[in-house]
Structure 1
Amino acid sequence: MIEASPRIQRLERGLFYAFLALLFWLPIPLGSHRPWAWSLVEVWAFALLGGWLVVNAYAPRLHSLRPYAPLLGLFALFQLWVGLQVLPLPIGWLEAISPERAAHFLAADPAIATGTLSLDPNQTRIGLLKGLSYWCLLFLALALVNTSRRLKLAALVIVITGTFQAFYGVLLALSGSETTWLLGFPNSDIATGGFRYKNHFGNFLVLCLCFGTGLLIASLSRKRAGSVREFLRGALATLMNGKAVVRLCLAMMVIGLVMSHSRMPNTAFFVSLSITGVLGLLLIRKKSRSLTVLLASLLAIDMFIVGSWFGLERVKNKLENTSFTQETRDEVVRDGLGLIEQYPLAGTGGGGFYSAFPMVKGPDIQQYYDLAHNDYLQFAIEFGLPATLLLGVAVLWSLALAFSALRQRRDSLMQGMAFAAVMAIIAELIMLLTDFHLQAPATAIYFLLCLALAWQARFMQVEK
């Protein structure tokens, strides 16, 4: 790598801190799930990428991203497909790719020469621009978070962000205020933080909890205590350094998660922690007794003490009392499969679910569904099966690399970050079954960071 001038080095550092500031900002304005909020994210992301290209022009460093090329390439191909969905294509091509869509155009005008794969090109263009900004942030996460020191700092910022959201959400829920302190939305005893939807808030906290758990594991001593005195000395050192603060942050986030009364995020957190904990004990080499103690305490303290004080019993009761006869999400899945049968290859176009679903909705669904409440289903409907499988490859490849890092890396930080990535991916795969988490920019971008983390844990060089 060419040695950069001091000015370029300052610019590159400024871009890194601006990237961290964006991570903190993302959940604040309703999870960035409003047009003005995601427009700001897009401008922020494109500006950061432009700044990085300037840095690269003076001090080329693109070659350092070679290990991450498959991940970036898979998501770039996906965005290329979304762009194709809004391009006017010859009607003959349209008949080959999406016969149903071509038949719709020909029925309206037999002489028509071109048409789009998307049922709602305007919404697909909005989704394309949003997706390009996501790709930019994925690229920047890999390009700017390029040392173990920066990786640890980025993880700390994510933990601080989650803690701030949990604290604000819990404080607002306990305040008794009829409206939220910002923007004046109706308030209740359910914690939502900067989000409007409790499940998005719960999903976001789960991802932040994964980063915090990874940091704790990275900070564990690899030395075995030879005596009770050494064990007590190590415990005292834990209280005096940053590990105790991170542990308190995790406790605050668990309180927020439980007070969200969100069933699937609560379930996904404890299931993913249990599964990844067992895998960690099996895969991590030279593990200490403190790792087992930490994982046991995370489950026991968070579930039984914090949960009993702040409403875990209520969440448990909601899970037990849930009746599928009271909800129509399973009917949405049933009818949505009909759209996949009609548009298996091309999909209906990004953002096209709300306009396509009324065509297949059964009479037993009285509610209006603009989203599928199942991201697997929605992605398959909007983007088609091949594009959805492409995303699945990216996610499963990342999970496999995180497993590999957990077993092969010797550096404690990389082991901890691999643990975080495995836990986050497992949790997200569970949560996507029952809601539209990836439709909210804050949670979608944080999940991309988790995928990037898996690759960094496997390939990042550790400074000597």
Structure 2
Amino acid sequence: MNLFGKRERGTGVFQHKPPAGKLNPGKQNRRDRSTTGVVVDASPDECYSGTSPWEAMKAGFSSQDMTFTVFVAVLVLAPLPLGSFRPWSGALAATLLGLIATAWALVTLRAPETPGVSARVLALPLALYGAALIWGLVQILPLAPEGWDHPIWAQAEAALGPLPRRISMAPAAGRDALAQLLADGLAFLLAVQMGRSPRRAARLVEALALASGAIALYGLVVYFSGSETIFWLEKWAYRGDLTAVLVNRNHYATLAGLGLLCSVSASLARWEQRGGRECLRGLLGGKDRLTAGLLASGGLTALALPFTHSRAGMAVAVLGLCLLLVLSQQRNWKRLAILLGLTCGAALIAVLEMDERLTELGADVPQRMRVWQLSWELLAERPWLGQGLGAFPDAFQAIRPGSITQIWTQAHNSWLELMVELGAPAACSLFLAAGWAWRRCLVAAVRRHRNRDLPALGAAAGLLVGAHALVDFSPQIPAVAYVLAAMMGVGVAQSWSSRMGSVVE
């Protein structure tokens, strides 16, 4: 028995045995007789059920459902305290994720029939991610071998006397960054384990979609009212831009793009599952409130995006949406052509609305490119050891020329910044772990004949945030990172069909 399932003696197979009396006579349970370590759900391979979240709530919660509900609540509420990008809110969200992970471990120990994915299946990404975390820990420990310590400690020692030498130049920042990376990984693992149940995977995506619509509605009301506030706080940056509950317009654009993907994916899945005519009857008759809410959330989020005035945010949202449509509708070319046409038309209208902003494209590009050049120089100084996780602000300040008057705390390229901080080997280990999850989603979305929606959603989300990370630092905002991790997590969880006897790589 372990955290992820119950091993059938002598076979190495994890099986799902639902509690007595819980069988649906129309839906036969199946054992996964392969050696993949993937525990299948008792229901057929359908990611979106016909019941609403409210109907599921009325039916009563199991301990798994209660833990899952708390997890979803953390994901939904994380954007509200300024994206959890403050010490108190970031620490609170990370602590809650740790408690949820502990609770889920206890739940699966008491109920080994809980659907999940074995650690053996996730061994490669876990090892890669863990290696980067371990190196980040080594950087901040006062155990640096001779020649590995950062030069700043020799300078400090000359002024203050003997000091413990470290690889990192900013150990305190490293502890915070390490905790954040650990919380991001926990969010992904929880989504993988909980999302192996098609019902829970669907509920999570629908909750993210509805929450995105609510945030967009708040942002639109504040924007058109002329108020320059975030809740009760006066905005100190990006005045005149729609930022909703976040401070930075680019970060909200990324979060809105992820929410739009959730809305579109969930709406299309319900349309295909229930049938077009049945969906239309439910919408027109006012009986299908969930689909109506998903469509309204998608519309509000799409409406809010142009008013962020984020050029890159708009571009990557369209890019991610196009990939989602291509992957999820690849066998329905007529519908794909219509949806892509609508997407391109909406994007063109948004570009026309942003025309004045587009003319300002050259204003900050030279300075940003200069920052990237200096970041490459920092990487060249310590390509293997790194400056220290979380140490970019201090490292950049040490070499910032007088021509750059603004204080840059991020490189505005998360890929490059991680290499500067961790060093190239550890950063590439982290990138490969994320690449494994993205490839898992992409391959499943291409190969699966049914229920490819969630793997397609995970692949689209990864592309959206990964592309935006080339010119900004949205993944470093905890709320954005948690939502991305959850979306890719359920995509990975649903990348294996419960009807397959083995996992095909």
TM-score scaled by length of structure 1: 0.85
1:88 equivalent to 2:142? Answer: yes
Per-residue deviation, 1:140 = 1.4
The residue that corresponds to 2:130 in the other structure is 76
Between stretches 143-152 and 182-191, larger displacement belongs to: 182-191
| Aligned partner letter, 1:121 | P
1:336–1:377 CA contact under 8 A, matched in 2: yes
| Aligned partner letter, 1:418 | P
| Aligned partner letter, 1:130 | Q
Matches of 1:126 and 1:236, distance apart in 2? 52
The residue that corresponds to 1:228 in the other structure is none
| Aligned partner letter, 1:214 | S
Alignment map for 1:27-38 (pairs within 5 Å): 27-38=79-90
Matches of 1:441 and 1:103, distance apart in 2? 31
Per-residue deviation, 1:177 = 2.3
2:230–2:244 CA contact under 8 A, matched in 1: no
Matches of 1:161 and 1:50, distance apart in 2? 26
Per-residue deviation, 1:62 = 9.1
Alignment map for 1:305-324 (pairs within 5 Å): 307=350, 312-324=351-363
Matches of 1:81 and 1:50, distance apart in 2? 24
1:15 equivalent to 2:67? Answer: yes
The percentage of counterpart residues that share the same residue type is 22
CA-to-aligned-CA distance 1:394-436 (integer Å, 9 cap, x gap): 2322232222111222223xx1112212221221122111111
The change in CA–CA distance for 1:453 and 1:223 in structure 2 (over 3 A counts) is closer
The change in CA–CA distance for 1:326 and 1:383 in structure 2 (over 3 A counts) is closer
Q: Of the candidates 436, 443, 453, which is equivalent to residue 397 of structure 1?
A: 436
Alignment map for 1:1-150 (pairs within 5 Å): 10-60=62-112, 64-66=117-119, 67-92=121-146, 95=147, 98=148, 101-106=149-154, 109=157, 115-150=165-200
1:461 equivalent to 2:498? Answer: yes
Structure 2 residues not aligned, in runs of 5+: 7-16, 21-60, 501-505
Equivalent pairs counted in the alignment come to: 438
Per-residue deviation, 1:222 = 8.1
1:405–1:418 CA contact under 8 A, matched in 2: yes
Matches of 2:190 and 2:63, distance apart in 1? 14
User: Considering only aligned residues, what root-mean-square deviation do their CA atoms show, in Å?
Assistant: 3.0
Matches of 2:126 and 2:359, distance apart in 1? 42
| Aligned partner letter, 2:171 | P
Per-residue deviation, 1:41 = 0.6
Structure 1 residues not aligned, in runs of 5+: 225-230
TM-score scaled by length of structure 2: 0.79
More helix by share: 1
The residue that corresponds to 2:243 in the other structure is 192
| Aligned partner letter, 1:430 | A
CA-to-aligned-CA distance 1:329-370 (integer Å, 9 cap, x gap): 111001111110011112111210111102222232111111
The residue that corresponds to 1:409 in the other structure is 448
The residue that corresponds to 1:227 in the other structure is none
Alignment map for 1:288-299 (pairs within 5 Å): 289-299=334-344
Between stretches 15-24 and 341-350, larger displacement belongs to: 341-350
CA-to-aligned-CA distance 1:187-233 (integer Å, 9 cap, x gap): 84421111111111111111111222222332343899xxxxxx878
Per-residue deviation, 1:51 = 1.1
CA-to-aligned-CA distance 1:221-265 (integer Å, 9 cap, x gap): 3899xxxxxx87875566554444322221110111111111111
The change in CA–CA distance for 1:69 and 1:177 in structure 2 (over 3 A counts) is same
1:176 equivalent to 2:226? Answer: yes
The residue that corresponds to 1:269 in the other structure is 317
The residue that corresponds to 1:352 in the other structure is 391
The residue that corresponds to 1:435 in the other structure is 472
Matches of 1:71 and 1:39, distance apart in 2? 25
CA-to-aligned-CA distance 1:125-148 (integer Å, 9 cap, x gap): 111222222222222112222311
3-state DSSP of counterpart to 2:117: helix
1:214–1:418 CA contact under 8 A, matched in 2: no
| Aligned partner letter, 1:200 | H
2:223–2:241 CA contact under 8 A, matched in 1: yes
Matches of 2:326 and 2:308, distance apart in 1? 27
Matches of 1:386 and 1:12, distance apart in 2? 38
| Aligned partner letter, 2:321 | L
1:147–1:460 CA contact under 8 A, matched in 2: no
| Aligned partner letter, 2:246 | F
1:340–1:381 CA contact under 8 A, matched in 2: yes
3-state DSSP of counterpart to 1:296: helix
Per-residue deviation, 1:450 = 3.0
The change in CA–CA distance for 1:326 and 1:426 in structure 2 (over 3 A counts) is closer
Q: Of the candidates 336, 339, 354, which is equivalent to residue 375 of structure 2?
A: 336
| Aligned partner letter, 1:404 | V
